[in-house]
Structure 1
């Protein structure tokens, strides 16, 4: 079916279309006039989701999610908020409402739930385009009542957002409070262990003590090196003194030995002179020889004594070296013990520091959470409260009539096509071609007083002849 055939069908059965259109529009117009008037109250709220929390001063990244606005709309239209409105306005206490509930629900259910469902059925929540404003509208027959309901929804929505934010914070406060007590106990235990360890080991300051003991170890090392050098030198002198005492430097440099050697040389020179001048049996010669022997004996005795003193000095230096070695080893052991003690105390100190950090962080979070839990600040602000409307919002007679004309046209067109399908007629050459499946050679068009029904094999009556 092409547009020409469709137009011919509408033209032939125009009375069906016109009648359907008139009846639909007239019925809609009459019903719109007879329907009771309805009023709509609208309250506007502003979502401050791009701001900063006035309590903590932190930004709110979770509220920047795309679903934030949709979530807030769902909260406004939730049953929780509707029950709050019922409680706020004390609607469930009205005898008339209770009577309507008993009549409608037959005593089943709860009047609060029934009222909340009725309010939500007439509630409309519409967000503004490209803004943070949400319009809360409620429809009803009483202007004052619809304005009160819209304002109640806006106010209870604010209270609900505060409660939804505060209740988790209060629970978190209890959790952080318990954690704070546990962490404080752990901190006290760690500090007690550290103090007990310091008392048991007599530690006042490990760092200062370590510095003193390290300096003492360094001093002992220097003294040991010097003592070792002195011992080596003393051993060499002792060896030389024991081997050739007269040639030993310590013996040769002794003042007594030098004086005895000079006296002995003088006595021997005198003895040699007396031997040439006097006889060997002369008393002077015998006296001089006795003096020389005495000096020689004293020199030998003094040499032995000096050599012995050199050996004794080497022994003393060796003993001092051994004592320094022992003191050095003891100092090393002591220093290692101090290092071990410091390491153990550092572990205890780190435990204390770790417990202190955990306690400080938890205490700070507890304080912040407690403040947030006590805050009554809301992220929602009432922008425009609802006022009692003067003009009704419905029924909209003009809009309903226009829609009825449109729907009536569609309905009339459908009825026209249905009637044509039930009683199909030939209205153009295309209809004849579709029926007979043969080409049309010509057609005669005329206008008369009445039109006759043509069979499938008949042509139109003449007035005008057109040959193809």
Structure 2
């Protein structure tokens, strides 16, 4: 079927197209008049995901942020919040809700507060605005004032519920920790008493603060004194060998064995030697001053020679005293070392018991810190949710939208009229033109009789038509 035929059919069935168009427009108008308008009011709140917990100092991670916002959205749409909204607004005493509840057929099965809460939960929508940490709470109602009021109440109830949930969780944790703290206290006291009894029984002292071991300190001190005495003995023996070799009188440096007298004599001899060397160079060997210096040199050397035997006797006495001291220290060191070895097992047990006391002390400190944090969280009166914008009564309804519905009605009416026209044409296949004849018979056209507009057509009917023939094929 050609486009011309379709247009011809629509023109002949124009009344059906108009009927379909008028019917859909009338139906759309009836819907607009019957269906009550629907208003949407939106309130928004910001979730501060970057704020650290004021008590524990913990921060929210990126993954837990998405989970937290999803949990908040589900909480807003829950029956818990809806029931709280019903109680806050006292909707059970509203005549409109009361009448709807009585006609709902569930008055004997469900309380009015629960029924209204379920109705409100169906009309609320909470979602996260993409790319932000903002939660939008939208409520749909036939009244713009009611939509704004309920949306704001949902948001306020949600913020209070977040605080209540955090406080309830903290109080529950605090209540659970109280008996645990008492048990930890008892365990710590028992461990300390066991440690003290063990120390009293075995006469052992625990290492002092800073890592000082009271039992090992005497051994370390004795070992240090022994090393020092051996070093002094070695130095005295070395210097005594120098004296015995005859070099003690000639050396001009002060040694460990030198007495104050010998040290002064050596210093004076060094000064005289220096002056003598300069005088010989300047005045010559026979100069009286040089001779006087030589006399002083011999006198000092004689005095040093007299002092050396005294120094040697003192050195021998010192060496003997050091040898006796070393022997005593070695004996003490051996006794203390043997004692340390004999009590090593007890010291290990003491260290184990000390670790047990430290472990229980750490457990108690950690639990006390957690209990204190839980008690502080149980007293919080704020959350990380802050209201950005309260809902206001919308000026225009979101449904129905008159221009859109009328446009859809016109389009649907035209489509319905076209369908009716084509169906009517299919049921009534009369031939009204050359195209219909060709479509119906699929035979070649021989000629057509066309009506003429002659003035005498009524007087002579035979002259009102003309016959046309198609051109003969060549």
Tell me the TM-score range normalised by the shorter chain: 0.5 to 0.7
Q: CA deviation at 1:145?
A: 2.6
Q: Which residue of 2 is the match for residue 103 of structure 1?
A: 103
Q: CA deviation at 1:111?
A: 0.6
Q: How does 1:368-407 map to 2 (within 5 A)?
A: 368-407=373-412
Q: Cα–Cα, structure 1 residues 48 and 329, in superposed 2: closer, same or farther, change >3 Å? A: closer
Q: Cα–Cα, structure 1 residues 216 and 58, in superposed 2: closer, same or farther, change >3 Å? A: closer
Q: Cα–Cα, structure 1 residues 129 and 210, in superposed 2: closer, same or farther, change >3 Å? A: closer
Q: Deviations over 1:223-270 (max 9, x none)?
A: 9xxxxxxxxxxxxxxxxxxxxxxxxxxxxxxxxxxxxxxxxxxxxxxx
Q: Which residue of 2 is the match for residue 159 of structure 1?
A: 160
> Quick check: 1:446–1:464 contact (8 Å CA) kept in 2?
no
Counterpart CA distance in 2 for 1:87 and 1:112 is: 8
Counterpart CA distance in 2 for 1:164 and 1:118 is: 24
Q: How does 1:360-439 map to 2 (within 5 A)?
A: 360-412=365-417, 415=420
Q: Cα–Cα, structure 1 residues 139 and 185, in superposed 2: closer, same or farther, change >3 Å? A: same
Q: How does 1:299-318 map to 2 (within 5 A)?
A: none
Verify: 1:178 aligned to 2:179, yes or no.
yes
> Quick check: 2:139–2:150 contact (8 Å CA) kept in 1?
yes
Q: Deviations over 1:373-432 (max 9, x none)?
A: 322222221111123345555443222212323444454555556666767899999999
> Aligned match of 1:212 in 203, 208, 218?
218
Q: CA deviation at 1:179?
A: 3.0
Q: Cα–Cα, structure 1 residues 120 and 405, in superposed 2: closer, same or farther, change >3 Å? A: farther
Verify: 1:21 aligned to 2:21, yes or no.
yes
Counterpart CA distance in 2 for 1:14 and 1:174 is: 83
Q: Cα–Cα, structure 1 residues 357 and 325, in superposed 2: closer, same or farther, change >3 Å? A: closer
Secondary structure of the 2:215 match is: helix
383-392 or 76-85, larger mean C-alpha shift: 383-392
Q: Cα–Cα, structure 1 residues 357 and 205, in superposed 2: closer, same or farther, change >3 Å? A: closer
Counterpart CA distance in 2 for 1:391 and 1:28 is: 19
Q: CA deviation at 1:209?
A: 1.9
Q: Deviations over 1:102-135 (max 9, x none)?
A: 2322532111121112222333445434333333
> Quick check: 1:183–1:358 contact (8 Å CA) kept in 2?
yes
Counterpart CA distance in 1 for 2:470 and 2:118 is: 72
Counterpart CA distance in 2 for 1:333 and 1:8 is: 127
Counterpart CA distance in 1 for 2:416 and 2:370 is: 68
Q: Which residue of 2 is the match for residue 340 of structure 1?
A: 345
Counterpart CA distance in 1 for 2:197 and 2:472 is: 127
Q: Cα–Cα, structure 1 residues 378 and 404, in superposed 2: closer, same or farther, change >3 Å? A: farther
Q: Cα–Cα, structure 1 residues 464 and 55, in superposed 2: closer, same or farther, change >3 Å? A: farther
Q: Which residue of 1 is the match for residue 147 of structure 2?
A: 146
Counterpart CA distance in 2 for 1:172 and 1:127 is: 30
Q: Which residue of 2 is the match for residue 75 of structure 1?
A: 75
Counterpart CA distance in 2 for 1:430 and 1:132 is: 68
Secondary structure of the 1:139 match is: strand
Secondary structure of the 1:368 match is: helix
Counterpart CA distance in 2 for 1:388 and 1:218 is: 91
> Quick check: 1:49–1:63 contact (8 Å CA) kept in 2?
no
Q: Cα–Cα, structure 1 residues 466 and 393, in superposed 2: closer, same or farther, change >3 Å? A: farther
Counterpart CA distance in 1 for 2:472 and 2:385 is: 80
Q: Which residue of 2 is the match for residue 112 of structure 1?
A: 113
Q: Cα–Cα, structure 1 residues 219 and 339, in superposed 2: closer, same or farther, change >3 Å? A: farther
Q: What's the TM-score, normalizing by structure 1?
A: 0.61
Q: CA deviation at 1:50?
A: 4.0
Counterpart CA distance in 2 for 1:18 and 1:375 is: 70
Q: Deviations over 1:62-92 (max 9, x none)?
A: 6645454443332222211111100111112
Counterpart CA distance in 1 for 2:385 and 2:221 is: 70
Secondary structure of the 1:386 match is: coil
> Quick check: 1:162–1:378 contact (8 Å CA) kept in 2?
yes
> Aligned match of 2:361 in 342, 356, 360?
356
> Quick check: 1:443–1:465 contact (8 Å CA) kept in 2?
no
Q: What's the TM-score, normalizing by structure 2?
A: 0.60
Q: CA RMSD in A?
A: 4.6
Q: CA deviation at 1:27?
A: 2.0
> Quick check: 1:442–1:466 contact (8 Å CA) kept in 2?
no
Q: CA deviation at 1:60?
A: 1.0
Instruction: Show structure 1 runs of 5+ residues with no match.
Output: 224-320, 450-460
Secondary structure of the 2:92 match is: helix
Q: Which residue of 2 is the match for residue 282 of structure 1?
A: none
Bigger Rg over Cα? 1
Q: Which residue of 2 is the match for residue 137 of structure 1?
A: 138
> Quick check: 1:217–1:332 contact (8 Å CA) kept in 2?
no
> Quick check: 1:214–1:335 contact (8 Å CA) kept in 2?
no
